Chains A and B, each alone.
Chain A
Amino acid sequence: MTGATTTARSTVIRRSRRRSGKHAFLFLAPFFVLFLAFTIAPIVYSGFLSLFTQKSSGLGLGGTARVFSGLANYARALQDQAFLAGFVNIAVYCLFYIPVMIGLSLVVALLLDSAAARAKSFFRLAFYMPNIVPGLIAAVIWVYLYTPGVSPLVDVFESTGAGWDMGSHLAALLSLSNITIWLHTGYNVILFYAALQAVPQEVLEAATVDGAGPIRTAFAIKARMIMGAVSVATLFTVVGAMQLFAEPLLLKSRATSIDSTWTPNMFIYQTAFDKHDFGYAAATALIFAVFIGALSWGVTKFGSKVES
C-alpha cells in the first residue's frame, strides 16, 4: 500500500469519526425520544404526583382538591396491609410455582435431549405453543376447564372422591399456578434444551465410557452443566411472577379467595381506577418499580456472575 492511499484512508476515517457524532445522534434520536417520553417522563410525573393527596372539599360537591402532603403517601403504602399482602401472596405463589415449573422444564428438556427421544422438532413446536397464547386467553380457557359439567378434568378429579372447591386458598393457588405453569414451562424447556446443546460431547462420551447410564448422565452431568442457565431462568421467572396481573384478575370471579388487590399490580390498578386516588396509586407504583428494578438488578448481577 502506498503512503498516499494510507493518508487518504486515515483522512476519510478521521472525517467519518467527526461525522459519526452527528450520525449517532440521528440514529439514536428515535429511541431516546420515545424512551424519554414514555418511560422517563411518566416516572418523573408520578414522582411529582405522589407528593399530593386528593382531599374532597367540604360538602363533597366541589370535586376534589390536590393537597401537598410530602412523603405521606409513601409512609401510608409501607404500612398498608392490603398493599403488602400482595407481596406476600406473590411470595407464597412463587414458593409453589417456581420449583414445579423449573423442575418440570428441566426434566422435559433432559428427556428431549436424550438419545431416545423421537420427533424432537415436533415436540419443541408443541411445547412452545402455550407461550404464544396471551395470559388472559389462557386464563379464559382454563376457567372453562375448571368448570364442573363443562370440563372432563373436573369429573376425573371428582371421581377420586375429592371435592372440587374453588373457593379455598389452596385451590386458588393451584388453579392459578397451573395456568402459569402451562404458559411458561414450554418456553423454558426450549431454553434449557438450547443450553444442553452446548454441553461438550467429550464430557458425555467420557461419562458413558466410565459406565454412567443415561439417567445418571442426565442428572449428574447434563443438569449440572446447565445450572447457570437454570438459575438465570429461575430469577427471571421471579421478576415476571412479581408482575402477575391478567391471570388472577380473570380467575378471581371463580377462585373467590383471590381478591381485587391480590397482587401489587392489581392493588395499584384498583387504587387508580376504583378509588381514583391517583397520588397514592403513583406512590405505590413507584415503590413497586423500585422494588422490581432492584430485584432485576440483583438478578442481572447474579446472572453475569454465574455466566463468567
Chain B
Amino acid sequence: MSPLTTQPATTGTPALPAPLPPAGAPKRRQTRSGWSSKLAVNIMLGLFCLYTLLPLTWLIVASTKNTSDLYGTSGFSFAEFNLIENLIQLFTWENGTFLRWMANTAAYAGLGACASVAVSFLAGHAFDKFDFPGKERWFGFVLVGVLVPAAVTTMPLYLLASNLGLVNNFWGVFLPQIASPFGVYLARMFSASYVPKEIIEAARLDGAGEFRAFLTIAAPLMKPGIVTLFLMTFSAIWNNFFLPLVMLSDTNLFPAALGIYSWHGRTLADPEYAQLVVTGALVTIIPVIILFISLQRFWKAGIGSGALK
C-alpha cells in the first residue's frame, strides 16, 4: 500500500472498551451465520452494483436502437439492431464534427492533465527538495489556492478573457486548468514520501544538474504518484463543463460533453438528435472507462490520499 493511503483517521480514535462477552464460542457463531449471511451480503452488494451499472446498461441498449424504437420500446429490451448505422451517423453528422469534439476532449483532458502533472511535480519537487527564502510562505499561498475551487473563478476568468479578446479560443479552456494548487500540495507530499533527500544530494555530488536529477531520479521513483495525479486531473478537466460552456461558442472547439449538451438542446425540436446524443454519450465515455480500468491499481491505492486534502 502506498504510504499515503495509511492515513485515514484511525490513529487518534481510542479503542472502544470491549463489550462484555456473553459466554459463547466465536467459532460456532461464525458457522451458524454461515452461508445465509454470506448470501445476504453478496445480494446486497449485487443490488448496489445493479444500481451503478443500470444506467450504463440502458445507454448500451439504447445506442443500438433507431429513433422510433428509442421512444417506442422498453428501455432495457433490444429492438432492431442499429448500432452500426448509429455510429456511422454519429461520425458523419455535420461533416464529422463529433470526431473533432473527441479530439478536442483528448487535448483538453489528456494533454492538459499531462501538462498539469508536469507543472505540479516540478513545483512539488522544489518545495520538498530545495531551500529558498520564504519557502513556507509561498507554500502557504498555494494552500490558500486549494481553498478556492476552480468553479468559482470561472466567471471572473471569463470576464477577464472577454476583455482581452481571449474568449472562444482553444487556450482559453486549456491553460486555466493546468495550474492546480491541490496538485502541487499532493506532489510535495509524494516527493517527501517517495524520494529520499539523500538520493538527490548524491546526484548533486555526482555533478548531475538539478533538472536532470529531477527527471531521471526523482520522477521514476514517484511514478505511482504521477499516475494518480494524472488520473485525478484528467477526471477534473473531463468533468469540467462550466468552463468550456462559458468560454466557447465556436462548435469546432467544443469538448465532447459540451457538444452532446448542444445536441441535447435540439432534441425537442428535432427528435433525430436524440439518437446522436445517446450514441455520442456512449462513445465519449468508453475510452475513459478503458483508461480507468487499465490503471485501476493506481486509483484504488491513491483514492485515500485524494479525498483527504
Residues in A lying within 8 Å of B, measured CB to CB: 9, 12-13, 16-17, 19-21, 23-28, 30-32, 34-35, 37-39, 41-43, 45-46, 49, 104, 108, 111-112, 114, 116-119, 123-138, 140-142, 144-145, 149-153, 155, 182, 185-187, 190-191, 194-195, 197-200, 203, 206-214, 220-221, 224-229, 232-233, 236, 239, 243, 245-246, 250, 253, 265, 268-269, 272-273, 278, 281-282, 285-286, 288-289, 292-293, 296-297, 300, 303, 306-308
Question: B-side binding surface: helix, strand, loop or mixed?
Answer: helix
Q: Name which residue of chain B comes closest to A187, CB basis.
A: B303
10 smallest CB-CB distances across A and B, nearest first, come from A228-B9, A195-B8, A34-B179, A27-B126, A46-B156, A42-B156, A194-B304, A38-B176, A289-B152, A116-B38
A191 lies within 8 A of B304 (CB): yes
Q: Mark B31-74, 1 if CB is under 8 A from A, else 0.
A: 00100011011101100110111011011001000000011101
Distance (whole angstroms) from the CB of A182 to the closest CB of chain B? 7
7 intermolecular pairs with C-beta atoms under 8 Å apart: A42-B156, A152-B76, A195-B8, A212-B19, A233-B307, A246-B242, A253-B268
B235 lies within 8 A of A250 (CB): no
CA distance A303 to B8 in the complex (A): 11
Residues of B within 8 A of A135 (CB): 239, 241
Q: Name which residue of chain A comes closest to B307, CB basis.
A: A191
A142 lies within 8 A of B55 (CB): yes
A281 lies within 8 A of B159 (CB): yes
Residues of B within 8 A of A116 (CB): 37-38, 40-42
Distance (whole angstroms) from the CB of B10 to the closest CB of chain A? 5
CA distance A8 to B299 in the complex (A): 44
Residues of A within 8 A of B33 (CB): 213-214
Residues of B within 8 A of A239 (CB): 149
B227 at the interface (CB under 8 A from A): no
Q: A42-B160, A269-B246, A289-B152 are in contact. Are A226 and B12 (CB under 8 A)?
A: no
Q: A34-B119, A138-B55, A199-B10 are in contact. Are A28 and B138 (CB under 8 A)?
A: yes
Q: Mark B242-258, 1 if CB is under 8 A from A, else 0.
A: 10001000000000010
Q: Name which residue of chain A comes closest to B176, CB basis.
A: A38
